[in-house]
């Protein structure tokens, strides 16, 4: 994929860690100018410093003023990738109103407002890439907020694709992925967890960060695909 994104500017919101960072690294290796957007500017700057041609900008996806400010400062972007999320994984009896709102702000409301401010500074060949997740298609007790917000992302992709055309809008729906989020389990704990996940996948393994980053770069370049949600979860919906 070397030079596949040459002379293109890609904003990766949530690009300072996990899947966002994996996408930022692969985009940089493909020749893109990467801008890492995050609420923590210092963390974003540290991540950008590890890439060949990258910078950082402060964006809080739940704060429209920071979105508008970033759009005005950047002036032009070719693609926007949004990996932000705010989990509230509890049983329905323990739901907290404010945390439900924050979850929707991160996954749905924030991306809508980002489209509002960034679509005007994007070229007709540009694209927005959202992130859904397998929880939307595999209901599980304690994950109602995650399932509903991720499901809403799929609808958001098709709605925005229609309204923002010819700018393309797509979504990726990952399954359980070794993105770094499970490192807190310790090496052995993570190994056992990912091995247990393999049994609920038709391909017999958990996902990798490379699986997601490769799909993201493909979608950024797939000029005839829009309004789609691409499932990268080894068939976990059908297992």
Q: CA–CA distance from 146 to each of 39, 108, 141, 174 (Å)? A: 21, 12, 11, 13
pLDDT given for residue 219 in this prediction: 98
pTM beyond 0.95, yes or no: yes
With respect to residue 79, please indicate whether it lies within any of the assigned structural domains. Answer: yes
Write the CATH number for 21: 3.40.50.720
Percentage of residues in the chain having pLDDT higher than 90: 95
- R_g (Cα) of the chain, nearest Å: 17
| For range 200-218, the mean pLDDT | 96
Give the H or E element holding residue 74: helix 64-74
Domain that holds residue 32: 9-182+208-232
Q: Among 17-21, 141-145, 193-197, where is mean pLDDT lowest?
A: 193-197
| For range 137-152, the mean pLDDT | 98
With respect to residue 105, please indicate whether it lies within any of the assigned structural domains. Answer: yes
With respect to residue 194, please indicate whether it lies within any of the assigned structural domains. Answer: no
Query: How do residues 38-69 score in pLDDT, each as one tens digit?
Result: 999 999 999 999 999 999 999 999 999 999 99
Distance between first and last Cα of the chain: 32
What is the tally of structural domains in the chain?
Answer: 1
| For range 181-210, the mean pLDDT | 93
Residue 36 has phi, psi (to 5 degrees) of -95, 120
Question: Is the model more confident about 117 or about 197?
Answer: 117
Distance CA 61, CA 56 (A): 15
Strands 177-178 and 9-13: unpaired
Instruction: Give which of 145, 75, 77, 80 is closest to 110, Cα–Cα.
Output: 80
pLDDT given for residue 69 in this prediction: 98
With respect to residue 172, please indicate whether it lies within any of the assigned structural domains. Answer: yes
With respect to residue 191, please indicate whether it lies within any of the assigned structural domains. Answer: no
Q: Among 2-16, 119-133, 208-222, where is mean pLDDT lowest?
A: 2-16
pLDDT given for residue 12 in this prediction: 98
Question: Is a pLDDT exceeding 70 seen at residue 2?
Answer: no
Question: Is a pLDDT exceeding 80 seen at residue 110?
Answer: yes
With respect to residue 237, please indicate whether it lies within any of the assigned structural domains. Answer: no
Q: Are 216 and 81 in contact (CB under 8 A)?
A: yes
With respect to residue 153, please indicate whether it lies within any of the assigned structural domains. Answer: yes
Average pLDDT, the chain: 96
With respect to residue 91, please indicate whether it lies within any of the assigned structural domains. Answer: yes
| For range 180-187, the mean pLDDT | 91
Query: How do residues 120-143 score in pLDDT, each as one tens digit?
Result: 999 999 999 999 999 999 999 999
């Amino acid at each position: 994929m070397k030079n596949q994104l040459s002379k293109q500017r890609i904003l990766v919101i949530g690009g300072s860690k996990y899947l966002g960072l994996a996408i930022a690294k692969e985009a940089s290796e493909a020749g893109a100018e990467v801008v890492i957007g995050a609420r923590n500017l210092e963390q974003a700057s540290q991540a950008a410093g590890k890439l060949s041609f990258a910078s950082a900008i402060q964006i809080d996806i739940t704060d429209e003023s920071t979105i508008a400010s970033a759009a005005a400062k950047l002036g032009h972007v070719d693609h926007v990738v949004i990996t932000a999320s705010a989990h509230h994984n509890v049983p329905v009896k323990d739901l907290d109103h404010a945390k439900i709102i924050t979850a929707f702000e991160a996954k749905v409301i924030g991306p809508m407002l980002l489209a509002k401010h960034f679509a005007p500074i994007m070229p007709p060949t540009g694209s927005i890439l959202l992130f859904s997740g397998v929880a939307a298609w595999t209901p599980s007790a304690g994950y109602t907020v995650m399932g509903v917000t991720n499901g809403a992302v799929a609808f958001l992709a098709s709605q925005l694709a229609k309204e923002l055309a010819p700018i393309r809008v797509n979504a990726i729906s990952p399954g359980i992925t070794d993105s770094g989020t499970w490192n807190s389990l310790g090496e052995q704990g993570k190994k056992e967890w990912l091995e247990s996940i393999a049994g609920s996948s038709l391909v017999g393994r958990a996902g990798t960060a490379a699986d997601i980053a490769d799909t993201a770069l493909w979608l950024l370049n797939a000029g005839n695909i829009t309004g789609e949600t691409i499932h990268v979860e080894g068939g976990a919906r059908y297992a």
